[in-house]
Structure formats: C-alpha cells, structure tokens
C-alpha cells in the first residue's frame, strides 16, 4: 500500500528510505536530501497538501503535538480526502505516568500527570475518534526513549553533566531508532492488527547504566553521579519528571502480534552501532 510519511525527522526519514520509492512519499516543513519522493509542507499552515492522495494509502504520522489539544494533528486529518485505509501514530510510553516501577501493558490506564503526557493522550483520543468515524485502521506505537546515531548522551558526558546515582535510578525503557523504524514498517502492513503496541528493546537497565556504557564505549570519563536530592537542585524540571516516572514497559505484543524482534535487544550492541 502507498504510504505517506508525515514528518521526516529522526525516525520518519529512516522509514521513508526503507520503503520502495514507488510506494512512498515524505512530507516535512524542512527539505531533506533523499532519493524518495518528498514534498515540503508546513503542518501548521491552512494550506492544502502538496500531493494528490491515492485511493488507497496509509499514513505514518511522526509530528509532535503543538499543544494539549493538538490543532496540528486535527488540521492534518481534515486534509485527508479521501481518507486513509490505515494510520500509524508514534506516541510515548510517558502516557502511563509514574507506575512506581510496576510492569505496564497496553491495558494499563493512562495518566495525564504532566503537559507532555496530556498532549499525547489527547492526540491518541483525537485519532481514535477519527478512526471510528472515518473507518480507517489505527495503530498507535507507544515508544520509550529513542536513541541511535547522534542521539547518545556523549556531549553531556564530555561536559561533566550529572546523572542519578544507580541506587536512586529507576528502571529504563528505550529503543534504537532502527528498531522503531522496523516497528513502524510492520504497523503499516495491511495484515497487522490495529490497536496499541508498546515498543522497546525489552532491556530495563537504568538510564545511569546506559550513560556508563556509552562512556565506556566512547572512551569518555565515567559519568558524574548525584543523589536524587542533588538532582532536584541541578536537573531541569522536564528531565527530573522524566527520570521520576518509574515503570517497566511490557513489549510482548510488539514481539508476538506486531511481529518485531528488536535487532538491538542488547543496548550494548545498539550503542556500539550508534558510535560507528
């Protein structure tokens, strides 16, 4: 099925370039150097789409919300005429909030405990309503922290930035960008069941462990570790909120229903590949 990749940033571009050129087109406000069909488009404008929509197509939407009511997403949906057969949305595992280290499946309740989570929950709700009224298949991928080339804490380590001491750090959840791209491609398949999927590498070692491993492989000084009390004085509110939301994300549906086994199930290997 023809696919429109709406947003060709860090993840979207990888999906765009893994799909056959005759079966895909990318949309983004910033031009990219690619051999795939690509159109510049400002998602915050009232203008029409710069390409004609085929009768049958899927959408991968990677754009972040523009607020708690996500007018950006609403505008984009209004332009889809005819409507898509399938819509894949990259959300976040942050919608579960702080689960005190518990394991969470897709059936766990969401918790709009902060502005970012509230915006993603609103976007999921907008899409669920649109799918019900327009009759398209909706797949929501709830992703944890995304890492890969250019997305490692190398600069923070070089500058002596602080990380939580291991005894104060909760479990970690992450996914290599290439594995997330594989999840997107699987979600776009017509035979993939619609619904919500948690995605991740299944390794739940802490962000502190991850930073230590990056430092080791990049031959950088070991990270400076601080207590939670010190972190509350030193970290930004956003970073502190992220580190304080503790949960283990269950990815059984990703493996058994979506059919994706992460290439980088061991983040040591994902870090190594990202540093090449």
CA distances from 164 to 67, 170, 230, 233, 263 (A): 30, 9, 9, 12, 28
pTM, full prediction: 0.96
Q: What is the mean pLDDT of residues 104-133?
A: 93
State whether CATH 2.60.120.560 applies to domain 2-151+174-203+248-263.
no
Question: Cα separation of 95 and 112, whole Å?
Answer: 6
Q: How far apart are CA 13 and CA 16, in angstroms?
A: 5
For 42-91, write each residue's pLDDT tens digit.
Answer: 999 988 999 999 999 999 999 999 988 999 999 999 999 999 999 999 99
* Residue 113 confidence (pLDDT) above 90: no
Taking a C-beta distance cutoff of 8 angstroms, is the pair 200, 105 a contact? no
Residue 237: pLDDT over 90? no
Predicted confidence at residue 112, as pLDDT, reads 81
pLDDT score of 240 more than 90: no
Q: What does the pLDDT read at residue 99?
A: 93
| Mean pLDDT, rounded, of the chain | 95
pLDDT at 244 over 80: no
For the segment 18-36, the average pLDDT, to the nearest whole number, is 97
Predicted local distance difference test score (pLDDT) of residue 241: 79
Upstream peptide bond of 251 is cis (omega within 30 degrees of 0):
no
The pLDDT value given to residue 171: 95
Among 14, 218, 69, 249, CA closest to 141:
249
Q: What percent of the chain has pLDDT over 90?
A: 88
In sequence order, the 6+-apart residues with CB closer than 8 A to the CB of 34 are 8, 13, 16, 17, 26
CB count, 10 Å around CB of 272? 13
pLDDT at 114 over 80: no
Question: Does the pLDDT value for residue 105 go beyond 90?
Answer: yes
């Amino acid at each position: 099925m023809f696919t429109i990749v709406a947003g060709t940033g860090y993840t979207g571009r990888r999906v765009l370039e893994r799909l056959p050129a005759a079966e895909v087109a990318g949309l983004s406000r910033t031009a990219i150097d690619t051999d795939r069909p690509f159109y510049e488009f400002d998602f915050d404008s009232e203008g029409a789409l710069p390409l004609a929509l085929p009768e049958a197509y899927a959408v991968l939407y990677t754009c972040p919300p523009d607020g708690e009511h996500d007018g950006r997403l609403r505008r984009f949906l209004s332009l889809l005429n005819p409507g898509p057969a399938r819509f894949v949305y990259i959300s976040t595992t942050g919608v579960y909030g702080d689960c005190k280290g518990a394991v969470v499946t897709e059936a766990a309740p969401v918790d709009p405990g902060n502005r970012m989570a509230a915006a993603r929950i609103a976007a999921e709700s907008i899409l669920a309503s649109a799918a019900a009224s327009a009759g398209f298949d909706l797949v929501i991928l709830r992703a944890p922290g995304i890492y890969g080339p250019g997305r490692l804490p190398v600069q923070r380590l070089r500058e002596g930035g602080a990380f939580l001491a291991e005894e104060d750090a909760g479990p970690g959840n992450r996914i290599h960008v290439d594995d997330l791209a594989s999840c997107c491609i699987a979600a776009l398949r017509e035979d993939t069941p619609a619904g919500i999927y948690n995605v991740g590498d299944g390794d739940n070692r802490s962000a502190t462990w991850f930073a230590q491993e990056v430092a080791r492989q990049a031959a950088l000084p070991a990270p400076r570790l601080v207590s939670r009390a010190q972190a509350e004085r030193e970290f930004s509110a956003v970073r502190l909120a992220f580190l304080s939301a503790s949960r283990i994300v269950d990815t059984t549906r990703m493996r058994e229903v979506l059919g994706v086994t992460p290439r980088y199930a061991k983040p040591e290997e994902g870090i190594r590949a990202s540093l090449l």
